[in-house]
Amino acid sequence: MKLKIATSQFSVSSDIVKNKSKILKQIKEAKEYGAQLIHFPEGSLSGYAGVDFESFTEFDWKELVDSTLEILQEAKKSNIWVLLGSAHMLENHKPHNSLYIIDNSGSIVDRYDKMFCAGTEEENTDDLLHFSPGDHFSTFEIDGIKCGVLICHEFRYPELYREYKKMNVEIMFHSYHAGNMNPTRKADMEAAVGKENFEFNFGKTIPEITMPSTMISYAANNYLWISCSNTSAKESCWASMTVRPDGIVVGKLDKNKDGILITEIDTDKKYYDATKFWRNRAMNGIYHSGNLVEDSRSKNKNEI
């Protein structure tokens, strides 16, 4: 099965109308390239609370809904699937940090709500200061290919990727908002890494080092394609990219620049998979390959 996707990158901001304009432009551009789906960053329409804007206290929910409806219409007009990062208002609680899964008829087929929001148990820092966590995985099929979605901080939980693998997902769409850092924040993050360690790593901040490398390892460990969409708002930590199932990066945009990355995915093409024979065994709690042996020297753990 083949699927052509567009992985978005643009400078997400607190301005819903401005975000919408960039989203609509990139949807049309993706369609011109023949993409069947476009994948946007975390909070791409709403902006990201706590970073792009202080809080939801005076947030314009009507503008968000109206803008979302325009995007639904464009998805139908352009005949393209859209994975839209946004906030989802609740009646009596903090909103969800969400990805709307919009099909090429302009219908919302599901909404994924970020399950692992960053923050402390007191729920008064980071994501949990602004958002309520979700409670479900989301999958969808496009042209016979099963896909799954996750959001930013959830890259820290390999269990989530294993669950999607159990569901026979072949492509993961992981939306990020690792950007819009002010100089002070950037300096603090670089200090956390330590100048003495810059030469040993592929970046100078923890997100720049750990997020792309984790996506590479998750692709290879689970034999999955992964589309990684990130904001390009300066200072962004890393550029949007796609990774194939053997952990090889096959495309990457320029950091801090708006654009879309076009990738043609062929799920029938075979790539190197070091764990294909025993992965299911490990996932089912059987922690060895081959056949165990009965041998006295095997059982005696204290002899040479």
Going 180 to 175 to 262 to 250, the CA torsion angle's sign is positive
Q: pLDDT at position 66, please? A: 98
Q: 234-285, pLDDT tens digit by residue?
A: 999 999 999 999 999 999 999 999 999 999 999 999 999 999 999 999 999 9
Match 């550029």 to its residue by tokens. 239
Query: Domain for residue 286, yes or no?
Result: no
Q: 100-155, pLDDT tens digit by residue?
A: 999 999 999 999 999 999 999 999 999 999 999 999 999 999 999 999 999 999 99
Q: pLDDT at position 39, please? A: 98
Q: What percent of the chain has pLDDT over 70?
A: 100
Query: Domain for residue 274, yes or no?
Result: no
- Give the tokens for residue 160: 């989530």
| Predicted TM-score (pTM) of this structure | 0.97
d(CA 232, CA 19): 12
Query: Domain for residue 299, yes or no?
Result: no
CA atoms within 13 A on the CB side of 21: 7
Q: pLDDT at position 233, please? A: 97
The β-bridge relationship of strands 96-102 and 108-113 is antiparallel
Query: Domain for residue 24, yes or no?
Result: yes
Domain coverage including residue 200: 2-269
Q: What are phi and psi of 50, to 5 degrees?
A: 90, -15
What is the separation of C-alpha 65 from the centre of its chain, rounded to a whole number of angstroms? 23
Query: Domain for residue 284, yes or no?
Result: no
Query: Domain for residue 122, yes or no?
Result: yes
- What residue spans of 60-136 are helical by DSSP H? 61-78, 126-130
From the list 152, 182, 160, the residue with the least C-alpha distance to 42 is: 152
Query: Domain for residue 194, yes or no?
Result: yes
Query: Domain for residue 291, yes or no?
Result: no
The β-bridge relationship of strands 96-102 and 81-88 is antiparallel
Cα distances (angstroms) measured from residue 257 to each of 122, 237, 239, 291? 36, 12, 9, 52
CA atoms within 13 A on the CB side of 221: 15
Looking up residue 63, the CATH number of its domain turns out to be 3.60.110.10
How many other CB atoms are found less than 10 A from the CB of residue 192?
Answer: 10
Q: pLDDT at position 111, please? A: 98
Q: 189-211, pLDDT tens digit by residue?
A: 999 999 999 999 999 999 999 99
Q: pLDDT at position 109, please? A: 98
* Secondary structure of 121-158 as H, E, C letters: CCCCCHHHHHCCCCCCCCEEEECCEEEEEEEHHHHHCH
- Looking at the structure of the chain, the number of domains it has is 1
